[in-house]
Structure 1
Amino acid sequence: MNKFSILLLLFLISANYSFSQKVKFQIFSPKELKGRKAVLLTREKGFAAIVHSIKLNSDIFNLDIDNDLVPDLYQLHVSQIKGSLFFFLEQGTQIRLDTNDVTKSTVTNSRSTLEWQAFERNIQKPSDDRIRSYALGEKQARKDRNADSLNFWIEKQALEKEDLVKKTGAFILENPASYVSLYLLKINWYALQDKGLFEKLDQSLTGHKTYIYLKEKNKKIAERQPVKVLNKLQ
């Protein structure tokens, strides 16, 4: 092996060490599930999923994941068991599988998952429930051909969606160091991009790929600002 080959090998090793890590987490499952296949995949609207396939041969798993990709929202599927579990994968996460419904599995040792569950429980789910109720009202109004009622239910849905955006923005402001806030800002970017929320994020998030992605998006908005000001002056 010549000098160039040695240097190249050292570079590749150091690059792999610098940009990826072993994310260690645990999935506790009963003996009857040993050997069962499971799939972990990222869940972000409009973005390609990162997929990891594993077998439940042991309780401890180590995944090679880029340093800037965790914590992040993942979805867990287990073969031959209904449901799926949404959780934030990070170092040390522990999952206790429900053998009847993966959705009912419990997640511990994950601060981001606790924050995500709080957002879902207190903000997202109540809003979804109201939207479904208003949609039923709209459906009935269409069936009855009642224009006034139809407009009422359509407006209720529009107002609810606006309220959800406001509450999501408030959550981000109240939790600036949360990776959940970073995730929420990304998936709601077009609704929240002009609220100045990116600048409020804590500096501890700067190494995450999502932060870098949003930084570029925010930079483009800032570059357009002088044009808007100039147009107003003209």
Structure 2
Amino acid sequence: MTKVFLPFLLVLIFASSVFSQKVTISIAAPRSLNDRRAILLTREKGFAAVVHSIQLGFDTTHLQMDKNLLPDLYQFQISQMKGSLTFFFESGTQIRLDTANLSSSLVTHSKSNVEWRMFQDNIQLPSEKRSNSYLLAEGRARKKNQIDSAAYWLNLQNIENQDLIEKTSAFIAANPRSYVSLYLLKNNWFALKNLGLFEKLDPMLAHHRNYRFLKERSKGLARN
């Protein structure tokens, strides 16, 4: 029995070492949160969430994670605390918790998160702010039965959406080695698929599941 089972165990151990890695995350939190449970989970469209449980109160937490899941966009939540923190996680990331507003917590030691914040602050959030203002204006016009005015604000929304697509495309093209670019292309594939952006991505990203996902999608385009 032992002779039959031992090789199987060795295969499992080898597979685990090939497809997973040990990563670290450091969380600076008030002592009042010691022993509080937190969760770290992926925020990926099209993929089931991968969840990791973390106990606060330790300087560094070690996690065993699949190699193809990092770096990527993750969400951090703490039990009995409202809100969440969304950030680009990679091994060595450090978080200084803002207990008043978890989403404002400081994230450091993550190159990908710096790139993510750059995209968010300079492109995504300003665009969303403008789109929301146009949407509200359209709603007010429709309530007053101002058809021409409503059409005007709707057209501005369409223009803004197209502008966001163009700026997202430009970001990806300018950052071909970025995991943020990989994430953005995957999550905006239908809007960006005909722009040849996948071919511009650096092959160093090939280990990531998003790259493999896009590679299959690109093959489908080529066949069509």
Shorter-normalised TM-score: what interval? over 0.9
State the shift of 1:100 in Å: 1.3
Is residue 29–residue 57 contact of structure 2 (8 Å, CA) maintained in 1? no
Counterpart in 2 of 1:84? 84
In structure 2, the residue corresponding to 1:194 is in which secondary structure?
helix
TM-score (norm 2): 0.97
Amino-acid identity (%): 54
Paired letter, 1:104: S
State the shift of 1:6 in Å: 2.4
Are 2:128 and 1:128 equivalent residues in the alignment? yes
Equivalence map 1:23-102=2 (5 Å): 23-102=23-102
- In 2, the alpha carbon distance for the partners of 1:69 and 1:92 equals 15
Is residue 39–residue 76 contact of structure 1 (8 Å, CA) maintained in 2? yes
Counterpart in 1 of 2:208? 208
- In 2, the alpha carbon distance for the partners of 1:180 and 1:212 equals 15
Is residue 93–residue 109 contact of structure 1 (8 Å, CA) maintained in 2? yes
- In 1, the alpha carbon distance for the partners of 2:5 and 2:83 equals 49
Structure 2 unaligned residues grouped into runs of 5+: none
Task: Say how many residue pairs are matched.
Answer: 224
- In 1, the alpha carbon distance for the partners of 2:127 and 2:152 equals 17
State the shift of 1:2 in Å: 4.1
- In 2, the alpha carbon distance for the partners of 1:37 and 1:101 equals 17
Structure 1 unaligned residues grouped into runs of 5+: 225-234
Is residue 81–residue 100 contact of structure 1 (8 Å, CA) maintained in 2? no
Equivalence map 1:115-154=2 (5 Å): 115-154=115-154
- Per-residue CA distance 1:28-61 (angstroms, 9 max, x = gap): 1111110111111111234321112222131211
Paired letter, 1:29: A
- In 1, the alpha carbon distance for the partners of 2:154 and 2:114 equals 33
Paired letter, 2:208: H
Is residue 24–residue 93 contact of structure 2 (8 Å, CA) maintained in 1? yes
In structure 2, the residue corresponding to 1:23 is in which secondary structure?
strand
Paired letter, 1:124: Q
- In 1, the alpha carbon distance for the partners of 2:6 and 2:49 equals 35
TM-score (norm 1): 0.92
- Per-residue CA distance 1:92-145 (angstroms, 9 max, x = gap): 000011121111110000000000000000000000000011011101110110
- Per-residue CA distance 1:155-197 (angstroms, 9 max, x = gap): 1101111110110010000000000000000000010011100
Paired letter, 1:5: F
- In 2, the alpha carbon distance for the partners of 1:46 and 1:130 equals 28
